[in-house]
Amino acid sequence: MSTTPTADRDVVNDLPQSVVLAQQLAGLDSFLESALGGFHWAVLDRLEDGIYITDLQRRIRYWSKGAEKITGFTAAEALGRCCADKLLRHVDEKGNCLCTMGCPLAAVMVDGQARSDNVFLHHKDGHRVPVHVFALPVRDWQGRIIGAFETFSDATETNAAIERIHTLEAEAFLDPLTAIANRRYLENTLHARLSELRREKLAFGLVMCDVDHFKRFNDTHGHATGDEVLKMVARTLKHTCRAYDLAARWGGEEFVVLLGQRAPDKVRDIAERLRMMVEHSWLEVGGQTLHVTISAGATIARPDDDETSLFGRADELLYRSKSEGRNRVTFVE
């Protein structure tokens, strides 16, 4: 006989649509009823943070509106699937896939201890999104662990991003395809950074990136898919940057990232992170999973640099990365 209190049973009759959909799609009534302790579904479904609940096999049993907003995946696309099954596919800042080793959900279901971490999840559009995750075990009325509960919040520096977008829109400095800064805005920003370097000794880094074998990709998959790949790469670069960094489209399949006030070892590390995040991003097109990689040249601006010398050095380093096998970073201070 169930020991669920009558008051808690009444909650079942007032579930939000996402939970009702979960029941219809995956026959989850008994799981959801067992997991009701401590949860108020209507509240969860209205939170800005993403929330999802899995069973012991890590199949998704509940998927909130916030999760839809942050990831792009609807409840119909997520429910009943394993979170590692071409869905979230968390990676850490070094590009290590946490689904096979280091998964917070798997760990809390083993020892019942809460965990949190900063990771990058896979968005439906292919790019990576930085999020802060917090995971807890889900227990039934007898206290047995029956699954896991995870919240995740978008860690993109929202205010800085919104302010920059407003500036770019107002001055027509957005690239129309990728919606990141265009070449004109990059050149203006670079000029200002070089002036700061000479005046205040504020060093910065520059990373020049190029999508590997992009012409071959276009010839194989078509220009429309090629455009989607450029958008995916642009979003991944932008989301991997911080507030004082700038990701811009230089032209064609080339991108440039300005890294503000970074020590040399940090510039090298961030350039490598940019490369890994693109490598671990993908698009689903026509039943195919499509990947691309980038090659990069990274350097530190010097007091005697101008735009021509700085770009020339970065371009030379980029060429070296391509000639040595692609999907790599070459760095020189």
**Average pLDDT of span 246-271:** 87
Lateral strand order in the sheet of 60-63:
60-63, 50-55, 145-154, 128-139, 115-122
Q: pTM for this structure? A: 0.60
Confidence class for position 58, pLDDT limits 50, 70, 90? confident
Residue, of 294 and 75, whose pLDDT is higher? 294
Above 80 in pLDDT, residue 166?
Answer: no
- Domains annotated for the chain, with CATH where assigned, are 6-154 (3.30.450.20), 158-332 (3.30.70.270)
Active site residues: 253
Q: What is the pLDDT, as a whole number, of residue 24?
A: 55
Shortest CA distance to 238 belongs to which of 130, 133, 94? 130
Do 318 and 330 meet the contact criterion of CB atoms below 8 Å apart?
yes
Residue, of 245 and 13, whose pLDDT is higher? 245
Residue 325 has which token pair? 């096998």
Q: What is the pLDDT, as a whole number, of residue 20?
A: 58
Above 50 in pLDDT, residue 59?
Answer: yes
Shortest CA distance to 305 belongs to which of 167, 190, 160, 133? 190
Measured between alpha carbons, how far is 210 from 264 in angstroms, rounded to an integer?
A: 21
Q: What is the pLDDT, as a whole number, of residue 286?
A: 80
Q: How many CA atoms lie within 13 A of 59 on its CB side?
A: 14
Mean pLDDT of the chain: 80
Q: What is the pLDDT, as a whole number, of residue 299?
A: 93
Above 50 in pLDDT, residue 11?
Answer: no
Q: What is the pLDDT, as a whole number, of residue 271?
A: 92
**Average pLDDT of span 14-35:** 53
The 3-class secondary structure across the chain, one letter per residue, is CCCCCHHHHHHHCCCCHHHHHHHHHHCCHHHHHHCCCCCCHHHHCCCCCEEEEEECCCEEEEECHHHHHHHCCCHHHHCCCECCCCCCCCECCCCCECCCCCCHHHHHHHHCCCEEEEEEEECCCCCEEEEEEEEEEEECCCCCEEEEEEEEEECCCHHHHHHHHHHHHHCCCECCCCCCECHHHHHHHHHHHHHHHHHHCCCEEEEEEEECCHHHHHHHHCHHHHHHHHHHHHHHHHHHCCCCCEEEEEECCEEEEEEECCCHHHHHHHHHHHHHHHHCCCEEECCEEECCCEEEEEEECCCCCCHHHHHHHHHHHHHHHHHCCCCCEEEEC
Residue 272 has which token pair? 């490598």
Q: How many CB atoms lie within 10 A of CB 217?
A: 19
* pLDDT tens, position by position, 266-323: 888 999 999 999 999 888 888 888 889 999 999 999 888 899 999 999 999 999 999 9
Residue, of 28 and 188, whose pLDDT is higher? 188
* pLDDT tens, position by position, 201-231: 778 899 999 999 999 988 888 899 899 999 9
Q: Is 238 exposed, middle or buried (0-12, 13-18, 19+ CB in 10 A)?
A: buried
Q: What is the pLDDT, as a whole number, of residue 160?
A: 62
Measured between alpha carbons, how far is 70 from 51 in angstroms, rounded to an integer?
A: 10
Residue, of 254 and 333, whose pLDDT is higher? 254
Q: Is 192 exposed, middle or buried (0-12, 13-18, 19+ CB in 10 A)?
A: exposed
Angle, CA of 326, 330 and 332, to the nearest 5°: 165
Share of the chain above pLDDT 70, in %: 81
Share of the chain above pLDDT 90, in %: 23
* pLDDT tens, position by position, 111-155: 888 888 888 888 888 888 888 888 888 887 777 888 888 888 877
Residue, of 30 and 153, whose pLDDT is higher? 153
